[in-house]
Amino acid sequence: MSQTTPTITAFQSSPDRGQGLARDMRVRWALEEVGLPYDVRLVSFSEMKQPAHRKLHPFGQIPTYEEGDLTLFETGAIILHIAERHAGLLPADANGRARAIAWMFASLNTVEPPIVELSMAFILERNKSWYEERRTMLVDRVRTRLEDLSNRLGNADWLDGAFSLGDLMMVTVLRRLNSSGLLNDYPSLCAYIARAEARPAYRRAFDDQLAVFTASSSQG
């Protein structure tokens, strides 16, 4: 069966300055894990809101995924699509697959929301008089998730047996806390992230998105 080379979209100039925190990183990493070559179309913030891009992504965001006559948005859907068609991100047995998918949803629905809320509060509310009080509450919510995740991971390498799309998504979610210092209290989670970042597929994806940022910043 011939495989159409997929095209994803990514920020022309990522606000994270190439730290691999924008969500195209997840898709790049998944594609690298399964060994599928891909093209990248870079879009500016204004292009993202134009009708042409909104046809691909109703909310005017990145990443999108185009493969033949299929267009997808939402990183969870994109990564599941890749994992279902190519070996490397899901276990062979049906129950193991279901559990790996549950971990992917847990990363997106249970762990990511409080992390995003904390970072959005910093971006949008840090000059408000009540910010410190709100931050304390948001940090507590994040810590609750980190504590529970750390307890479940224990000394294991990955969340449920072999590395899966659940780990891939969870690690990209946790990395958003890098600059907060909150991860430092959870050595097993730090080791988990480091283990994932040492994977050759992760390195290739990271280097590729960094090269995009480096090129965009050298163009002034």
Residue numbers at the binding site for ligand GTB (CB under 6 A): 15-16, 21-23, 48, 60-62, 74-75
Q: How far is the CB of 210 from ligand GTB (least distance, A)?
A: 13
Each as own residue / partner, the long-range contacts of residues 70-75 (CB below 8 Å, 24 or more positions apart, any chain) are 75/23, 75/26, 75/27, 75/108, 75/169
Q: How far is the CB of 169 from ligand GTB (least distance, A)?
A: 9
**Residue whose CB is less far from ligand GTB, 87 or 215:** 215
Task: Tally Cβ neighbours within 10 Å of residue 133.
Answer: 10
**Residue whose CB is less far from ligand GTB, 74 or 160:** 74
Q: How far is the CB of 162 from ligand GTB (least distance, A)?
A: 24
Residue number, nearest CB to ligand GTB: 61
CA–CA distance, 127 with 132 (Å, rounded to integer) = 10
**Residue whose CB is less far from ligand GTB, 60 or 91:** 60
Q: How far is the CB of 57 from ligand GTB (least distance, A)?
A: 8
HSE-CB at 77 with a 13 A cutoff on CA atoms is 10
Q: How far is CA 45 from CA 86, 149, 212, in A?
A: 32, 34, 15
CA–CA distance, 179 with 218 (Å, rounded to integer) = 25
**Residue whose CB is less far from ligand GTB, 54 or 203:** 54
